[in-house]
């Protein structure tokens, strides 16, 4: 099977983890694992809750940790061994899927160690590895009517490599141009020549002063709409952005409060970012390659079709970059470790949204589903 090099290097940080996956998430338990508990470890049954089809580990209502979390480690693993973990806990942060018949393993930036391996170490190439002895009970399969698994993988790997080889802003525009074209002509190949032709007829960038504020608004609305308190890392990212833009969000109306329509804070933020842009460019390229890999773009991820997925990816990037800009504005610093923190905090929220309908409605309202506006937004950093 193919596996991302970051997955091969990954070792769980356990008690040292800065944002453990054992807190804040309802980790699913599939029927086969619950059945195993029934037969071999009935004491574990009391830790599982939820209706049929949505069974998951209980969480401590005071701490939001899994009830089996013990001093930084998993109590089930400690007492019964890792074979008793449900698939979600056993495989996280690995993401397993099939491209046609070909199994494929990538990883989520929502894990701090994966964020570090991807952004700092740049472990973002695919390798052939033996299939692990345990595979998930259920694995999502991706199939395209006119492509086999090898062809899907070849296109996907070409996009990962493209992301790594140029500024993320440029690669994202290329992805959107290609995705739009490919939806009309499925025989189009992702080659340099195709991209150069598409670039030559791309619409001009349409940038608006209000864009950074609308972006901040999107993030805040998505957090408010989730009806859950933002985890600390996400809350800090949101606060840094709002403070640097000198605005607030009204929790009743969900509106940004910038009554004076003063956009100078965003201009200042953008001007300050220029000092960090060059050094952070490779980190942002790695972020993009990691996201392409994690979502199996252009075949997987949220969004109806390749173009919508490209738009969602570009918007996720714009929010990530705004988070970096806000941190740099606040501290006059930008480095890969802070980028990994921002990437992980956002990924933990944005990569786990179940439905893109609200995001797409917000982005459409801002005009960013049009190529000219998307190009303007990408040019803002
Ligand atoms: S988030 Fe990653 S490093 Fe942290 S506890 Fe979970 S798997 Fe381990």
Residues lining ligand 1, Cβ inside 6 A: 12-13, 17, 20-21, 92-93, 111-113
Radius of gyration of the chain (CA): 21
Domain annotation covers residue 141: no
Residue nearest to atom 5 of ligand 1 (CA): 20
Q: How far is CA 327 from CA 187, 273, 313, in A?
A: 43, 10, 21
Task: Give the model confidence (pLDDT) of 207-259 as tens digits.
Answer: 999 999 999 999 999 998 887 788 899 999 999 999 999 998 887 777 777 76
Final residue of a structural domain among 91, 112, 144: 91
Domain annotation covers residue 285: yes
Distance CA 353, CA 355 (A): 6
Give the distance (Å) from ligand 1 centre to CA of residue 228: 21
Domain annotation covers residue 150: no
Final residue of a structural domain among 42, 59, 91: 91
Give me the torsion for CA of 178, 180, 183, 189, rounded to 10°: -10
Distance CA 49, CA 370 (A): 44
> Which atom in ligand 1 lies closest to the alpha carbon of residue 10?
3
Domain annotation covers residue 84: yes
Domain annotation covers residue 32: yes
Give the distance (Å) from ligand 1 centre to CA of residue 22: 8
Domain annotation covers residue 38: yes
Domain that holds residue 30: 22-91
Distance CA 285, CA 165 (A): 8
Task: Tell me the sheet residues that pair with 126.
Answer: 4
The parts of the chain modelled with pLDDT lower than 70 are 259-260
Residue 296, class by beta-carbon neighbours within 10 Å (0-12 exposed, 13-18 middle, 19+ buried)? buried
What is the structure's pLDDT at 380? 78
Give the distance (Å) from ligand 1 centre to CA of residue 198: 41
> Which atom in ligand 1 lies closest to the alpha carbon of residue 92?
7
376, 211 Cβ separation under 8 angstroms: yes
> Which atom in ligand 1 lies closest to the alpha carbon of residue 114?
2
Query: Please, which residues have CB within 8 angstroms of residue 44's CB and are 6 or more apart in sequence?
Result: 37, 68, 76, 80, 84
Domain annotation covers residue 174: no
Final residue of a structural domain among 57, 91, 125: 91
DSSP 88-120: HHHHTTEEEEEETTEEEEEE-TTSHHHHHHHHT
Q: Does residue 371 share a domain with residue 229?
A: yes
Rounded to the nearest angstrom, the gap between the alpha carbon of residue 29 and the centroid of all alpha carbons in its chain is 23
Query: Please, which residues have CB within 8 angstroms of residue 237's CB and are 6 or more apart in sequence?
Result: 323, 326, 327, 342, 345, 346
Give the distance (Å) from ligand 1 centre to CA of residue 111: 5
Q: Does residue 230 share a domain with residue 366?
A: yes
334, 327 Cβ separation under 8 angstroms: yes
User: Number of folded domains in the chain?
Assistant: 2
Residue nearest to atom 2 of ligand 1 (CA): 111
Q: Quote the tokens at residue 191.
A: 């080659």
Rounded to the nearest angstrom, the gap between the alpha carbon of residue 51 and the centroid of all alpha carbons in its chain is 28
Domain annotation covers residue 191: no
Q: Does residue 222 share a domain with residue 367?
A: yes
Q: Does residue 73 share a domain with residue 219?
A: no
Helix 264-295 and helix 232-245, axial crossing angle in degrees, nearest 10: 150
Parallel, antiparallel or unpaired: strands 248-249 and 140-142: unpaired
142 — phi, psi (to 5°)? Answer: -110, 130
């Amino acid at each position: 099977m193919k596996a991302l090099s970051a997955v091969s290097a990954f070792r769980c940080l356990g008690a040292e983890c800065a944002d453990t996956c054992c807190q804040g998430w309802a980790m699913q338990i599939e029927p086969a694992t619950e059945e195993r508990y029934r037969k071999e470890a009935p004491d574990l049954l009391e830790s599982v809750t939820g209706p049929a089809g949505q069974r998951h580990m209980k969480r401590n209502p005071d701490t939001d940790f899994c009830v089996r979390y013990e001093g930084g480690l998993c109590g089930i693993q400690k007492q019964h061994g890792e074979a008793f973990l449900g698939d979600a806990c056993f495989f996280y942060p690995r993401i397993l899927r099939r491209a046609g018949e070909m199994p494929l393993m990538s990883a989520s930036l929502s894990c701090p160690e994966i964020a570090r391996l991807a952004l700092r170490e740049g472990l973002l190439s695919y390798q052939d590895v033996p299939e692990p002895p345990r595979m998930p009970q259920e694995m999502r399969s991706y199939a395209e009517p006119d492509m086999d698994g090898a062809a899907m993988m070849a296109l996907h790997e070409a996009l990962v490599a493209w992301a790594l080889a140029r500024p993320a802003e440029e690669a994202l525009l290329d992805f959107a141009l290609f995705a739009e074209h490919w939806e009309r002509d499925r025989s189009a190949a992702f080659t340099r020549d195709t991209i150069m032709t598409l670039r030559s007829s791309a619409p001009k960038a349409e940038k608006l002063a209000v864009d950074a504020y609308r972006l901040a608004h999107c993030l805040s609305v998505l957090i408010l709409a989730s009806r859950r308190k933002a985890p600390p890392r996400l809350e800090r990212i949101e606060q840094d952005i709002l403070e640097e833009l000198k605005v607030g969000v009204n929790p009743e109306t969900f509106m940004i409060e910038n009554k004076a329509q003063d956009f100078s804070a965003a201009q200042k933020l953008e001007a300050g970012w220029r000092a960090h842009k060059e050094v952070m460019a490779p980190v942002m390229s790695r972020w993009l390659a990691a996201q392409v890999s994690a979502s199996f773009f252009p075949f997987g991820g949220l969004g109806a079709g390749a173009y919508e997925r490209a738009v969602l990816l570009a918007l996720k990037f714009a929010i990530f970059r705004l988070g970096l800009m806000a941190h740099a504005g606040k501290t006059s610093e930008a480095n890969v470790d802070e980028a990994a923190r921002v990437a992980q905090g956002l990924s933990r929220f944005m990569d786990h949204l179940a439905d893109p309908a609200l995001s797409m409605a917000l982005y459409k309202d801002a005009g960013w589903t049009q190529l000219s506006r998307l190009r303007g937004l990408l040019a803002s950093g």
